[in-house]
Structure 1
Amino acid sequence: MGIKIVSTGSYVPEKVLTNFDLEKMVETSDEWITTRTGIKERRIAESETTSELATKAVISALGRETGEDIDLFITATATPDMFFPSTACLVQSNLKNKRAVAFDVSAACTGFIYALYVADSIMRTKEIEKAVVIGAERFSKIIDWKDRSTCILFGDGAGAVVLEKGEEEGILGFDIGADGSYKDLLKVESVGSNGEYPWYLFMKGNEVFKIAVRTMAESAKNVLEKTGISPDEIKLLVPHQANYRIIDAVAKRLGIKNDKIFINLDKYGNTSAASIPIALDEAVREGRVGKGDLVLMVAFGGGFTWGSCIVRL
């Protein structure tokens, strides 16, 4: 018995916020943002909620607007519509499903890897044949648009994968972990009901950058070692889309060449838990990977959390 990704899907809002748009909002420039991050534009959800973004990504993955046959919904998100019901329950309802297990996972930008790990574990021990794992974020609602150090980085969107039990093994291994002692370097906390932004994101970028590079590279090396797979066997590296310089540094530490890295952060910025499933879906649709190919996914996020996974499509 194996667990396999049988389809992928994604959705991003229509509104595009370019670096030139940001020049009119804060003291920054397209050249400064592009040089330091690789980001050119990002998508912003004007009225769509996180659960609506997630639902559209699942519809994309399923190829239909109902999901009565799904046994498990897990949504990775740091920006849910509400504390409860979970975003996963809202997606389940939107897809006319009234029986599946449904819950959220909160691990910031590593959320999708965590959610995939949980889904894989449950499917191997329970009577669950088909699952949907989603990464969905609406980070625009927790950004201080006056803070030029963070507002340039993030965007909104959602991605999803459908998992099924079968004869072939598709999910080959994981490496995940966390260290809460770094909690003050990257966080979202309340500033009170009278504040212009009830919640805001805070990040010490330089410190996060250094730890992210080291930790992502170590996690990826760990999962390669656990599975006995060499970097040369990897068809495509699909990293968390936070910053081009982070991705480049991690790839160099792994010895993976640029033509084996999938990058779309120039179009979407950092979509947190949604970044890897959006990138994976685009890679599949563009023909960068196909049936039988090995894909290495790796992420790092607030917590700090980290995780990597190798799958065979």
Structure 2
Amino acid sequence: MPDTANQINWIFKEINHIVDDNDPFIVLVSLWLDNLAFFICENPQFDTLLMMCHTNQYIGRQYVITDQFKFYLTQLEQANVSQVIFTKKQLFYIKTCSFLLGSYLVAKPQNYIFTAEEILNHISDQYLNIINIHSHTMASWSKELMICITYLTNLVCICCWWSEETSMPIKTLFSTEQISNDLIQGLIRIVCYEPFHEEIQNEQLHDELSLIEPILKLFLVILQTQNTSYYFRSNIFLPEILLTLAESSSHEKHSLCAYAILGEILTDEKLKDLKFADSMYAFFLNLLEKGWHHPLKRFKRMPVIYLLR
């Protein structure tokens, strides 16, 4: 991490002055910031470092809440997205800046320059349209489109969770019942697309977020803040898909989210009918033990109390 704000500003100003949208310097900076975001995810205590705060202030002001960011979202709203649009600079905006800002906001900073509602106001309409359009055509997605949707969903989810004590951010996303239904059904279609399940069964460490992970987390936020369980219950295949994800994932955080969603949408009788009570019980006991022995009484940034819901 650079030692001064001037050093950080210099890096970003160099990017701003680059004419070639595929310049190698953009790639190097993106890799550095991606690694920084992953580091913050695993070590949230560094979120409060002065240079980390400055970096995310700059990213929010100069990249995310900008017309250029919205221009890139407009490109993603096309039904047939051309590969030409996926330049290194476009991915720097949509993937890298969204990822680092989201990793920073998870710690719920009190004095960030934008509120969760302001961020969602800036991106939510286009995000909703992107999901509505592309959730019918997963088989034709390019790797780059999948990356963009993954990191946008992650940012949207974190904004909703960041200010969960107020309902304004989530209301920004769910302004009408039809919009709520369209988004939930679109995300369910994505989760039910089996080729995407392969990535969470990989035991190797990923250098990318899993698409399924932020969607499952967003489902949890929606279920715990909105009266939307009937949308989820209307899909008769979803419980079986979630159970498969929970039992096949090599990553505990995916299993945790999938089990938690099942607990939200199924009645006690239907949970018993699935006949996985013993495996889920053992799974949660294991997580509780890990969280209890953590210095901050947390598991994967989640306080132990949340595991007892």
| Fold conserved between structures, TM > 0.5 | no
- Give the greater-gyration-radius structure (CA): 2
Would you tell me which structure has more strand in proportion to its own residues? 1
If the length of structure 2 is used for normalisation, what is the TM-score? Answer: 0.26
If the length of structure 1 is used for normalisation, what is the TM-score? Answer: 0.26
Would you tell me which structure has more helix in proportion to its own residues? 2
